[in-house]
Chain A
Amino acid sequence: GAGVSQSPRYKVAKRGQDVALRCDPISGHVSLFWYQQALGQGPEFLTYFQNEAQLDKSGLPSDRFFAERPEGSVSTLKIQRTQQEDSAVYLCASSLGQGGWGLRTEAFFGQGTRLTVV
């Protein structure tokens, strides 16, 4: 596709439910990032993949959060036993090369998935 695609765009989950958020990066992009943006805040780093390798998961807030990118393309962020504080927009970004924050190649964000836990 033309850009980073995230699905679903909106998700309402009951507290305690498990959810899976999908990110389709731009084809051929090596690096993939997940960010969490709470209301009124800036995006906060969750995790980073280079191809299928998860090189940094230091931002995942608890062991209820799990991310994977098994074939180095599509990535899934899974949240188990959702809590109200998990309500946020989850943003995915991808870049062609390693890293990509304007240094080597630009990173592109998807539109995000808005998760509401009720």
Chain B
Amino acid sequence: DQQVKQNSPSLSVQEGRISILNCDYTNSMFDYFLWYKKYPAEGPTFLISISSIKDKNEDGRFTVFLNKSAKHLSLHIVPSQPGDSAVYFCAAIMTGGSEKLVFGKGTKLTVNP
């Protein structure tokens, strides 16, 4: 049973436009959420995170929104750049408990010049 779901395997956007990557979760005990970016043949790198006590966190071109009631979060990239082309993983954790980070399957973002 997938506790973290990324229902879009891929997304293609034009350079300069907004990229919106979505993630849903089923476990209401998750209280901290992270986005990782992965290039081919490299390990995932941390991008941005959000605590469940917030509904928005912004870092430069990247903003993560959390809707707890809907168990939904999204990552917005504005403006999108070709270098943003990568696989993006949504992940969740229950703080104060296990250190087990639960990942979604990932969304492959392609930003076209």
Contact = CB atoms under 8 A, between A and B. Distances in A.
B98 interface: yes
Contact of B43 (A4, A41, A59, A101): A4
A102 B89 CA distance: 15
B43 A45 contact: no
Nearest to B93: A101
A42 B102 CA distance: 9
A58 interface: yes
A28 to B, nearest CB: 18
A109 B102 contact: no
Interface in B75-111: 89, 91, 93, 95, 98-106
A109 B4 CA distance: 20
B45 interface: yes
Nearest to B102: A45
29 contacts: A4-B43, A33-B99, A40-B105, A42-B4, A42-B6, A42-B89, A42-B103, A43-B89, A43-B101, A45-B100, A45-B102, A48-B99, A48-B100, A55-B99, A56-B99, A56-B100, A91-B44, A99-B99, A101-B93, A102-B32, A102-B46, A102-B49, A103-B32, A107-B46, A108-B46, A109-B45, A111-B41, A111-B43, A112-B43
Interface of A: 4, 31, 33, 35, 40-45, 48, 55-56, 58-59, 91, 93, 99-103, 106-112
Interface of B: 4, 6, 32, 34, 41-46, 49, 89, 91, 93, 95, 98-106
Given A42-B4, A42-B89, A91-B44, 16 more contacts: A31-B99, A42-B91, A45-B101, A48-B99, A56-B98, A56-B99, A56-B100, A58-B98, A100-B99, A101-B49, A102-B49, A103-B95, A106-B46, A110-B43, A111-B41, A111-B43
